[in-house]
Amino acid sequence: MIFPGVLLKQHGLRASKRKGQNFLTQPATAKAIALSACIQPEDTVLEIGAGLGALTLAVASMAKKVVAVEVDRGIFPVLQGILADEGAENVEPILQDALELDLVEMARENGSRFVVVGNLPYSVSSPILFKFLDNLSAWRSATLMVQKEVADRLVSAPGNKDYGRMSVLIQTWCKTGHALTVGPDQFFPKPAVASSVVHLVPREENLARVGSSEEAAWFKGVVKAAFGQRRKTLLNSLSNGLGLEKAKVSFSLESIGIAPSARAETLTPEMFADLARALADQA
């Protein structure tokens, strides 16, 4: 494996700070991440942010096929060259923004749900996570490297300072777990903070017990409103965020045993589900 800094220089490229590009430098680390994804020989893997192919090659040695998505037009031909040199014939590189992928259609064409892996830049980690949350039928597991603070939010429990909107929504629809931590010295250029690999698996039944898209949208709206003004009480944040009279919000909260003075970070996903149903009756 050629060191990323050397490879970029050979092609007249630089890592983009704006895009949050940090490339893995150690094949052993890439292999550890790939192993944590529990890839089976019959799996098709969808990789988000293939970069210079370190994780791509590790995954390709385990999977039937890898669809490697990269958005950078300068990096993409370098990735193609690396894959060709390594004889990675089971990898299909795609030049595209991951946020524009039709995941459900891709899974349909593939004939099965994807195993997802990726190294997500901080700037797009939230939009990509929410995109996968909206397309649960397209994938059966996701093993993603994100900044440690994002990982902490994904796995955080109620009452923790890291617990927020993302925690509630992801945990409502997915089982979450921490796989491993990757230090800054494993990347080029070195990021300022550590990264963590998290593992997500869609739940067979979501914790909110919502079935229709309308119910799901209302639940998500309630959670967003609750955390929209984090320092305020639920009474104030929900009233402002949902445009409901305070008397109705207070009644809804008290009807399910939640004090109007409580704050969003103290509620479990199940409590948010009860709250969403109570508020729906008042909307």
Specify whether 133 is located in the same domain as 237.
no
185 among annotated binding-site residues: no
Q: What is the CATH number of the domain that holds 79?
A: 3.40.50.150
Task: For residue 119, say whether it is annotated as part of any ligand binding site.
Answer: yes
pLDDT value, residue 2: 75
Q: Is the pLDDT of residue 80 over 90?
A: yes
The answer to whether residue 118 sits within a structural domain is yes
Please tell me whether residues 137 and 218 are part of one structural domain: no
Number of domains in the chain: 2
Q: According to the annotation, is 43 in a ligand binding site? A: no
pLDDT computed for residue 10 by the predictor: 93
* Structure-token pair, residue 254: 């008290």
- Cβ-based burial of 39 (10 A; exposed 0-12, middle 13-18, buried ≥19): buried
Q: State which of 158, 179, 202 marks the end of a domain.
A: 202
With bands split at pLDDT 50, 70 and 90, how would you rate the model's confidence at 88? very high
Whole-prediction pTM:
0.94
CATH number of the domain within which 225 lies: 1.10.8.100
Would residue 178 count as lying in a domain? yes
- The per-residue pLDDT for 142 is 99
Q: What is the tens place of the pLDDT at every residue in 211-225?
A: 889 999 999 999 999
pLDDT value, residue 283 = 75
Over residues 111-140, the mean pLDDT reads 95
Residue 29 lies in a domain: yes
Chain segment 232-274, per-residue pLDDT in tens: 999 999 999 999 999 999 999 999 999 999 999 999 999 999 9
Q: Residue 282: its pLDDT value, please?
A: 82
Residue 22 marked ligand-binding: yes
Which residue from 14, 11, 4, 1 is spatially nearest to 78, judged by alpha carbons? 11
Does 46 carry a binding-site annotation? no
How do residues 151-175 score in pLDDT, each as one tens digit? 999 999 999 999 999 999 999 999 9
Q: Mean of the per-residue pLDDT values for the chain? A: 96
Give mean pLDDT, residues 51-63.
Answer: 98
Report pLDDT digits (tens) over 177-193.
999 999 999 999 999 99
Are residues 225 and 274 part of one domain?
A: yes
